[in-house]
Structure formats: structure tokens, C-alpha cells
Amino acid sequence: MKFLFFPLLLGGLLVNAQSKKELIAKTQQLSAEVEALKKQIDELKKPKTADLNDQHKKASYALGILVSKNLKMQGGDSLDYESLTYGIRDVFKEELLQLEPQEAAMFVQIYMQQAMQAKIEKAKAVGVAFLAENKTKAGVIETASGLQYKIITSGSGKKPTASNRVTVHYTGKLLDGTTFDSSVERGEPATFGVNEVIAGWTEALQLMREGDRWILFLPSELAYGEQGAGGQIPPHSVLVFEVELIKVN
């Protein structure tokens, strides 16, 4: 009986060994397939660049930039660009449109109005929250108009009046740190009338002396308000300026 048991045991071990070998081989195969899939996914995630080898493609890409920037400025940040490209594709290829042009025009008008209003409300809320917190910080002074400023360097020269012209160096930034204008970067100070600039500047300059360097925090009401400016300053933006009063002319 024991002699019959040994071949059976040996056969079982051989079967188990073969099964383990097949399992290892299958595991290795699956691992290789997973790695290959990972590489494919990584390739798909890489940003693709446009082919600008001829003037038509370059003009198309340039128009895409301009249209997109314009849409974002109008509150279209939430637009789905893939759906946007489908709409463009269907028109250019003369495919069956999923919306009639008249219906599309009405829908876009309502959508963009709502999107712009949402963007305005968000900008207002961000500005109000920033100013409320900022005025509690050490060294920040707030005037009755809502202008906030912080003295970096104190000068001892003349104070300008509303009728004076002044020469200043300045850098203007949005709350996200984006620089939209800078005489410092241009390497040349600016000269203008105290009453020829935005309200926040007119007020602040008359509080400063020659040699002063201040940081100004302007509520949108003392800056460019609901209109914004130059495509770089969105509506209802709180602005931050570093200003050095060089000379009262």
C-alpha cells in the first residue's frame, strides 16, 4: 500500500509544481501588460502641441487663443472645451448640428450672462474677504474711503496736492500675484497729475511724502470698478500697488 501511495504523492507534487510554474508565468505576463498600459496612459497624459507648419494651421491656433481668452474674460471659465471643439467640428464639416443656430445663440447669451454674473460675485466675495483680513494685519492702515496702505519706507520730502504732478515708480498686481503694470520693469519712472489717475491713487499720493514707499491695497471702487481695464484687470478686482514717490513736480 505504501508503494502505491508514493507514486500518487509524487504525481501530486509534480502537478502542484507545474501549477506554480504556470501561475508565476501568468503573473509575469500580467505585470508586463500592466507596465505597457501604464506607459500608454503616460503617453496619453502628455500635453499635445499644435502643428503650426503652415499659415492656415498657425492662424487657426492663433484664433483659438484669442477666442478662448475673450471667452474666459467674459466669464466662460466653466465652458467644456471638448464640447466646444465638437461644435466647431460639426460646423466646419457640415455635419448634422445637435442644436439649431438660433437656439444655440439664445442659449449662449443666457449662459454667458449667468457665467459672467457668477464670476463677478466670486470676484466681489474674494475682494471683500481679502480686505477684511488684510486690515487686521500689523502695519496696515485703512482710511474712511476703504483705501488700505502699509508704509515700507518713510520719506521726509514734500507732500503733493491734487493739482501737482508727481514722478513715481510702481508695480501693480492682482490678488493672485499677476503683475499687470510696472514702471520698475520698464526701467523708467512715470510722471502724471495727481488728479489724473484712479481714485485710490489720488487719495494715497496726497498722504505720501517724497521718499515714501508704500504698499496700497485698493478696493475695486477706488480702482477700475465693474468695468475692469485693458483686458488684464477683471471687473471688481482688488488691486495691490507698491508705490515709491520720487518727486513732487
Looking at 90, 130, 192, 198, which residue is catalytic?
Answer: 198
Looking at 149, 181, 217, 246, which residue is catalytic?
Answer: 181
Residue 232, class by beta-carbon neighbours within 10 Å (0-12 exposed, 13-18 middle, 19+ buried)?
A: middle
- Measured between alpha carbons, how far apart are the two ends of the chain, in Å? 119
Q: Residues 159, 162, 163, 167: is their CA dihedral positive or negative? A: positive
Residue 180 known to be catalytic: yes
Residue 81 known to be catalytic: no
The three state secondary structure string of 211-246 is CCEEEEEECHHHCCCCCCECCCECCCCCEEEEEEEE
Looking at 149, 224, 233, 246, which residue is catalytic?
Answer: 224
Residues 167 and 192: beta-carbon distance below 8 Å: no
Residue 149 known to be catalytic: no
Looking at 111, 130, 180, 192, which residue is catalytic?
Answer: 180
Residue 83, class by beta-carbon neighbours within 10 Å (0-12 exposed, 13-18 middle, 19+ buried)?
A: exposed
Residue 224 known to be catalytic: yes
Residue 3 known to be catalytic: no
**H helices present in 93-188, as ranges:** 101-134, 183-186
Looking at 149, 212, 217, 241, which residue is catalytic?
Answer: 241
Looking at 170, 176, 192, 246, which residue is catalytic?
Answer: 170
Q: Residues 218, 224, 228, 229: is their CA dihedral positive or negative? A: negative
Enzyme catalytic residues: 170, 180-181, 198, 224, 241
